[in-house]
Amino acid sequence: MRITVDRDRCIGSGQCVMTAPGVFTQDDDALVALVPGHEDAAADPRVRDVPMACPVQAIAIHED
Amino acid sequence: MTESEMRLTGSQTPSFPQDRTCPYQPPKAYAEWRGESPLTQVTLFDGRPAWLITGHAEGRALLVDPRLSSDWGHPAFPVVVRRTEGRGGLAFPLIGVDDPLHARQRRMLIPSFGVKRMNAIRPRLQSLVDRLLDDMLAEGPVVDLVSAFALPVPSMAICELLGVPYGDHDFFEECSRDFVGAATSAEADAAFGELYTYLHGLVGKKQAEPEDGLLDELIARQLEEGELDHDEVVMIALVLLVAGHETTVNAIALGALTLIQHPEQTDVLLRDPGALPGVVEELLRFTSVSDYLVRMAKEDIDVGGETVRAGDAVLVSITLMNRDAKAYENPDVFHARRTARHHVGFGHGIHQCLGQNLARAELEIALGALFARIPGLRLAVPLDEVPIKAGHDAQGPIELPVTW
């Protein structure tokens, strides 16, 4: 399972950070970023909820 | 009903919006719109027909759909409140513009509302709330919870964040109240003018003598580098100041009232402070302070078997989406332990509330401290005597007399 983020779409709502704080963070511009080493979504089950929580569909999970 | 019969006719459909009777329940007339169909037809005050989206899934899909516009400057953009009549052309930054302009404005502001910044603000919010509660306990009972607590918390917080002197709060709170509460567009224009003049002066003063605050950062980074002009900075300040005043105050007051009316749920909060974030999410779902969002279709869009045509007015019902039985079990029950995921209390899509994480911090700290300090908090008047705002405004009590 792989996470992809589309930073061009991101509006900095922080819903990803709120839902799975160990996996997602915000950079200095408050745009979505992955915590290094967490590109694989399998580590945290809450990640599955993030695409629905994101208000602009900037985050997708790919089943490999 | 066939599509041709459902086409917007403007005849004999119910008026929208309507006033609530219970402060935290949908208006009674909305009950018949909560059936199988995710949309219904309503009529606005000026006789214009509109689609009202009531389904949770459909509303969320529409709010991310770029075929819906938020461009208040469009001459055919729907007018829901009489005070905004004749405002065509005045597209407020952030809330009244579409991408790419919206994205450009929002990106300048999101660092100031990011998760890290909002978490860093919490200790200051806590001391502010503690001080207000000290004053309230010394003064009462009976106390008006709106003026003594629910208003000063977001007012002080947004002033500090923006770098607006809180000492002027009586002035701009009144302007803000007059602006959103105006009966006519002339009254709204007058209040807008006062607020604009005040902020125009403040931005000029800050250019000469920079301080700490979001406005000062905008001036230093964007205005001085030519990314924004003076008028844009003033308009952004105006939108953030008014939005900071007219939303969280209602959420705190309506949240407190809902908890007072559901003492068994308040016990959950008192026994387990860890439940607080979940309780706040459920309050945001249950109370739906921003009752509806206004959009206009730019192209034809199929919704729930109907076709919304280009140019149609589209109202998205936050209240009914948050009470959709397809999304929430027993949606009319306030349940502190419910995981109210995916509520649309802050909207959805590119316009989702910029200040939502500030609002969450304010709500958690204010409501947590209020009931911890005054566990016996109760209404000083019967529920049906609590004066509440009109259906077209942000929902909430005008005054909330409490005792303990």
Q: Is A35 on the interface with B (CB under 8 A)?
A: no
Closest residue on chain A to B108 (Cα): A29
Pairing of strands B313-317, B292-297: antiparallel
Interface probe for B, chosen from A9, A11, A23, A29 (most Cβ of B below 10 Å), is A11
User: What pLDDT does B6 receive?
Assistant: 52
User: What pLDDT does B348 receive?
Assistant: 98
Closest CA–CA distance from residue A38 to any residue of chain B (Å): 19
Please check the confidence at residue B1 and state whether its pLDDT lies above 60: no
Please check the confidence at residue B5 and state whether its pLDDT lies above 60: no
Contact B115 A49 (CB under 8 A): no
CA distance B133 to A26: 34
Please check the confidence at residue B332 and state whether its pLDDT lies above 90: yes
CA distance B168 to B148: 17
Which residues in chain B are closer than 8 Å to A56, comparing Cβ atoms? 64, 349-350, 352
Please check the confidence at residue A38 and state whether its pLDDT lies above 90: no
Concatenated DSSP letters of B131-154: HHHHHHHHH-SSEEHIIIIITHHH
User: What pLDDT does B178 receive?
Assistant: 85
pLDDT over 90, % of chain B: 79
Q: By mean pLDDT, which of B162-176, B284-298, B299-313 is the weakest?
A: B162-176
Q: Which of residues 87-146 of B touch A (CB under 8 A)?
A: 103, 106-107, 110-111, 113-118
pLDDT band at B140 (very low <50, low <70, confident <90, very high): confident
Q: By mean pLDDT, which of B22-31, B171-180, B207-216, B347-356 is the weakest?
A: B171-180
Q: Tell me the pLDDT tens digit for each residue of B68-95.
A: 999 998 999 999 988 777 665 577 899 9
Q: Mean pLDDT across the stretch B168-185? A: 85
- The neighbouring-strand residues paired with A59 are A5
CA distance B375 to B39: 42
Considering CB atoms only, which of B111, B118, B356 is closest to A28?
B111
Q: Number of C-alpha atoms within 13 angstroms, CB side, residue B23?
A: 28
Interface probe for A, chosen from B110, B276, B341 (most Cβ of A below 10 Å), is B110
Interface probe for A, chosen from B115, B116, B281, B318 (most Cβ of A below 10 Å), is B115
The SS3 of residue A8 is coil
Q: Model ipTM?
A: 0.93
Considering CB atoms only, which of B103, B115, B341 is closest to A14?
B115
Contact B341 A55 (CB under 8 A): no
Considering CB atoms only, which of A11, A53, A55 is closest to B110?
A11
Whole-number mean pLDDT of chain B? 92
CA distance B12 to B49: 10
Q: Which amino acid is at B177?
A: R
Q: Mean pLDDT across the stretch B191-200? A: 93
Contact A28 B352 (CB under 8 A): no
Architecture of domain B28-403: Orthogonal Bundle (1.10)
Closest CA–CA distance from residue A33 to any residue of chain B (Å): 12
Contact B110 A12 (CB under 8 A): yes
Which residues in chain A are closer than 8 Å to B64, comparing Cβ atoms? 55-57
Contact A49 B107 (CB under 8 A): no
Q: Tell me the pLDDT tens digit for each residue of B213-255.
A: 999 999 998 888 888 889 999 999 999 998 888 899 999 999 9
CA distance A39 to B4: 50
On the 0-12 / 13-18 / 19+ scale of CB atoms within 10 A, B293 is buried
Residues recorded for chain A: 64
Q: Mean pLDDT across the stretch B260-267? A: 94
Please check the confidence at residue B344 and state whether its pLDDT lies above 50: yes
Closest residue on chain B to A14 (Cα): B115
Q: Is A34 on the interface with B (CB under 8 A)?
A: no
Q: Mean pLDDT across the stretch B177-181? A: 81
Contact B350 A57 (CB under 8 A): no
Pick B172 or B379 by higher pLDDT.
B379
Split into its structural domains, chain A has a count of: 1
User: What pLDDT does B8 receive?
Assistant: 73
Q: Mean pLDDT across the stretch A43-53? A: 89
Domain locations along chain B: 28-403
CATH number at residue A27: 3.30.70.20
Contact A55 B357 (CB under 8 A): no
The SS3 of residue B173 is helix
Considering CB atoms only, which of A17, A31, A55 is closest to B349?
A55
Q: Is A51 on the interface with B (CB under 8 A)?
A: no
Please check the confidence at residue A64 and state whether its pLDDT lies above 80: no
Range of the domain at A6: 2-62
User: What pLDDT does B186 receive?
Assistant: 86
Under 8 Å between Cβ of B30 and B323? no
